[in-house]
A and B are shown apart, each in its own frame.
Chain A
Amino acid sequence: MRLALLELLRRPGRFAVAGGALTLLVVLLLLLGGLLDGLYFGSTGALRAQDGDVVVYSASSRESFLRSRIDPDLRATVDEVDGVAATGGLGLALLGAERDGEDDGDTIDVAVIGYELAPRGVPDPPPPGTGWADRRLADDGVEQGDVLLVGPADAPVEVAGFVDDTSYLLQGALWVEPGTWRAIQTSARPDAAVTEGVFQALVVQADPEADLDARALAAAIDEATDGVTKSLTKAEAVLSLPGTRQQNSVFSALIWVAVFVVALVSALFFALVTLERTTLYATLKALGAPSSRLVFGVVVQAALVALGAVVLGGLLTMALGQVIPDTIPVQFEPSRVATSTALVVLASTVGGLLSLRRIIRIDPATAIS
């Protein structure tokens, strides 16, 4: 291992090409991960924040808030299911809004969400005509005390305060009491009006004393309603949001391709280096170096080159993050960065290990003549 470290220290230029290529791949990986997380968290915050285990839609809605309706009778049926501790109505309308008194003509995209059970990080429903705004709206210039004129009817909602990580499909949420939501929804979409007591979905809290997991509870609810409802666990509901599953699949595929390319770059580089080192390895073997020691040296170099690339790539990505426009949803999560680092080091090490057979086959006798 000492030999491998000394070579890295004294001949860093030899590893510059591989290190440079891996650095660019690290930047790509971190940006892809950042985009994935930015899209995922920006799209799903409103559902992830829900303090419940199951989300109930009407069966014909295909898990769409817009199409779904839960009337008071259906809700009462759900309330009666064994294992249900509490239910809270949920309704959502995606609309444009303008700040009252601002004549700049800028429309802000908002997701007006009427709720009963307070999601995590969101206070209890505010008085009618007021709402808790997602921090994303603050990025659009909205301030506490501002009155937002929502929808085509310019329904006024005063911002009572801000909450974090509750956006929906990359739109800042405006959390209001159910009556306010119904009024806004009905004025904006008369064809999809909601009457008193009706919600689009229910958030269900499981009874901790009932020995039912969320999936079983969801199935029990649908059975009790004779299939009139379509109940999803919270995790399923998050993934069923429009585009979420597809985004995850596409970005995950791109990330794995990038990881594969890391392994490929490392494998090709160390295969070439091994070819160059044939005489050196034959000499060292003739002097008594076991093949395992030489292979370990390559693995150490592959891992350290990858680590160096992660550090450089991380710094480059941080610099890039400063110039990426706010309109691009990039979010660098520590867990994603840690996973990417581990994957790059692992892929590079595996790539380096592919020289194993070549190193083992070097005949020490070739050191002589």
Chain B
Amino acid sequence: MPALVMEGVRKTYRSGDDEVVALDRADLEVGDDEMVTLLGPSGSGKTTLLSIAGGLLSPTEGRVVVGDQEISNLQPRQLTAFRQREVGFVFQSVNLVPFLTARENLTVVGELAGRPRRDILERADRLLEELGLAGRARNLAGQLSGGERQRVAIGRALMNEPKLVLVDEPTSALDTKLGEAVMELLREEITGRGVAAVVVTHDTRITSYSDRTVEIVDGRLRA
């Protein structure tokens, strides 16, 4: 079963009397262990696509299925519940909660999903171990290096064992060497777990790390 299916997805906004098309009849399928890069310039609609796939925005038209759940017509409250369990996010600026430790940044996501406390702690410790952060588990976010924060963010995205991880511009603020390191980390930590990933970027240097690259220009996808 594909991790993500988007069929004829369209997103428009009103700007005065005009209609602005952010995403124009996008069709996309991502396999359950596939890593897809969505490549496009600023304003091409890639963030809109990512937001719709992650249940942050609802499409104006079309159908979106994540795993076995269609989310196109869910109400905001249902989308909140969907995001708790079915998708993981790695944000561009990492966005860890600054007053929480590395471990707590993971466990808070488990708590939001309402998982049993014991499961949450076991899962968080296992992920931190796998990400090489066991020794930094009790450090606050501000005490971690940039690379460590990226790894915590990846752990947080994987915490609730989602079917799909959505990664927003992971290398935008990084130099080439660090950008490659982050993409290697993403590749290493996400694939092989039976988790699909969509990586949104405008950086052509990182497309080689994914299984497939899809271009997006002016709201239209081009395989």
Please give the residue numbers on chain A whose beta carbons come within 8 Å of chain B beta carbons, in ascending order. 2-3, 6-7, 10-11, 279-280, 283-290, 293, 363-365, 367-369
| C-alpha gap A2/B112 in the complex (Å) | 11
A-binding segment of B2-10, B50-58, B124-132: B50-58
A78 to B100, CA, bound (A): 76
**Option from A10, A287, A290 in Cβ contact (under 8 Å) with B89:** A287
Least CB distance from B160 to A in Å reads: 8
Q: Are B113 and A288 in contact (CB under 8 A)?
A: yes
Which of B80, B83, B91, B108 contacts A3 (CB under 8 A)? B108
Say yes or no: is B140 at the interface (Cβ < 8 Å to chain A).
yes
Asked whether A369 lies within 8 Å of B47 as measured between CB atoms, the reply is yes
In B191-213, the 8 Å CB interface with A consists of: none
The 8 nearest A-B residue pairs measured at CB: A288-B84, A365-B56, A283-B95, A288-B83, A288-B112, A10-B99, A369-B47, A365-B51
Q: B91 to chain A: which residues have CB within 8 Å?
A: 283, 286, 367-368
Do the beta carbons of A2 and B111 come within 8 Å of each other? yes
In the complex, which residues of chain B have a beta carbon less than 8 angstroms from the beta carbon of A285?
A: 80
Q: Does B139 contact A (CB under 8 A)?
A: no
User: How many Å from the CB of B169 to the closest CB on chain A?
Assistant: 7
Task: State in angstroms the CA–CA spacing of A363 and B104 once bound together.
Answer: 24
* CB pairs A–B below 8 angstroms (7 shown): A6-B99, A280-B98, A287-B156, A289-B80, A290-B77, A368-B92, A369-B168
Q: CA A287 – CA B96 in complex, angstroms?
A: 11
Known pairs A286-B83, A368-B47, A368-B91; A3 contacts B97 (CB<8 A): yes
Bound form: Cα–Cα A7–B104 in Å: 12
Given A288-B85, A368-B89, A368-B92, 20 extra CB contacts under 8 A: A2-B108, A2-B111, A10-B99, A11-B99, A279-B95, A283-B91, A284-B112, A285-B80, A286-B91, A287-B83, A287-B112, A287-B156, A288-B81, A288-B113, A363-B56, A365-B57, A367-B91, A367-B95, A368-B54, A369-B92
Q: Which residues of A contact B98 (CB under 8 A)?
A: 280
| Chain B residues whose CB sits within 8 angstroms of the CB of A288 once the complex forms | 80-81, 83-85, 109, 112-113
Chain A contacts for B54, CB-based, 8 A: 286, 368
Minimum CB–CB distance from A204 to chain B (whole Å) comes to 65
Given contacts A10-B99, A11-B99, A287-B109, whether A368 and B80 have CB atoms under 8 Å apart is no
**Chain A residue nearest in CB terms to B104:** A6
Chain B residues, CB < 8 A from A290: 77, 80
Which of B56, B99, B113 touches A364 (beta carbons < 8 Å)? Answer: B56
Would you call the interface of chain A mostly helix, strand, loop, or mixed? helix
Q: How far is the CA of A59 from the CA of B89 in the complex (A)?
A: 82
Nearest-CB distance from A216 to chain B (Å)? 58
Chain B contacts of A6 at CB under 8 A? 99-100, 104
Chain B residues with CB below 8 A from A7, complex form:
99
| Min CB–CB distance A281 → chain B (angstroms) | 11
Q: Give the Cβ gap from B4 to chain A, nearest Cβ, in Å.
A: 16
Question: Residues of B contacting A363 with CB < 8 Å?
Answer: 56
Q: Which residues of A contact B95 (CB under 8 A)?
A: 279-280, 283, 367
Specify which chain A residues have a CB less than 8 angstroms from the CB of B168 in the assembled complex: 368-369
**How far, in angstroms, from A288 to B51 measured CA to CA in the complex?**
14
| C-alpha gap A288/B110 in the complex (Å) | 10
Most chain B C-beta atoms within 10 Å of own C-beta, residue among A10, A279, A365: A365
Docked pose: A3 CA to B111 CA in angstroms: 11
Chain B residues positioned under 8 Å from A287 (CB to CB)? 83-84, 89, 108-109, 112, 156
**What is the CB-to-nearest-CB distance from B61 to chain A, in angstroms, rounded to a whole number?**
18
Q: Within 8 Å CB of A10, what residues of B?
A: 99, 140
How far is it, in angstroms, between the C-alpha of A363 and the C-alpha of B51 when the chains are bound? 11
C-alpha spacing A3/B107, complex, angstroms: 11
A92 vs chain B, min Cβ distance (A): 64
Which among B56, B97, B113 is the interface contact of A368 at CB below 8 angstroms?
A: B56
State the Cβ distance, A298 to closest chain B Cβ, in Å.
15
**B97 → chain A closest CB, angstroms:** 7
Known contacts A2-B111, A369-B47, A369-B168, A286 near B140 by CB under 8 Å:
no
Residues of B contacting A3 in the complex (Cβ-Cβ under 8 angstroms): 97, 100, 108
